[in-house]
Amino acid sequence: MMQLIQRVKDQQGITLTMAWMCIACATLLVVPVSVVQLSGTAEWSQLYTPYVWILALLTGSFLITRLVSWLFNYLKADYCKRRESSCRNMMIRRLDFEEKAVLREFIIQRKNVLALPMRELAVSNLLESGVLVPAYETQEIKGSGRIIKLSIAVDAREQLTHKVLGLPVGKLTDDEAEQLKSARPDYARSNYIPLRD
């Protein structure tokens, strides 16, 4: 991480140096001839003007390249963010029964982070669409299936209402509680918290 920060600082230093060189060259090139003649540097000016032009073109080209590169990266990041948001919104609108059950587990267990198996189709779909995100960099390996700690993406939380997840608003009836208990995925039932007292 420190190397990345140092590289960014170096890049900024190079860009700033090039900008000042470009400004200096442009200033020398636009100075009126009368000022050059008054200062007694007319011979120097005629001798070094081609080199100043070359330096101005090089530094200007570098700055234009940096600007185009920054603009491209900005537009690419914006496009990726919009695409990810669109994919996540589409997924939330089309949640199937098992995917809703997985998301309900966060509410039922009253947890922000759950360890879920990647091999389950519902979990991998939610992860791929950006509804679920890895909570930590560490992963647990249990048996042949990969168990990873996941949480609901911050951008998805406001859209995952009780209605979207199929949870009743208010107090649960016995039938609703039994229906929700039976719909719970077996792989997500660790640390069970009962739905009713």
Q: Mean pLDDT across the chain, nearest whole number?
A: 79
Q: How much is the pTM?
A: 0.61
Residues 117-130: what's their mean pLDDT? 87
Q: How far is C-alpha 188 from the geometric centre of its chain's CA atoms?
A: 28
Instruction: Give the model confidence (pLDDT) of 150-159 as tens digits.
Output: 888 888 888 8
Task: Judge contact between 52 and 28, C-beta under 8 A.
Answer: yes
Q: CB within 8 A of 106, min separation 6: which ones?
A: 112, 114, 151, 152
The whole-angstrom separation of Cα 166 and Cα 45 is 79
Using only C-alpha atoms, what is the Rg of the chain?
Answer: 30
pLDDT of amino acid 139:
57
Q: What are 9-57's pLDDT values in tens digits? A: 667 778 888 888 888 888 877 777 666 666 666 677 777 788 888 888 8
Percent of the chain residues topping a pLDDT of 70: 79
The pLDDT tens digits for 87-114 are 888 888 898 888 888 888 888 788 888 8
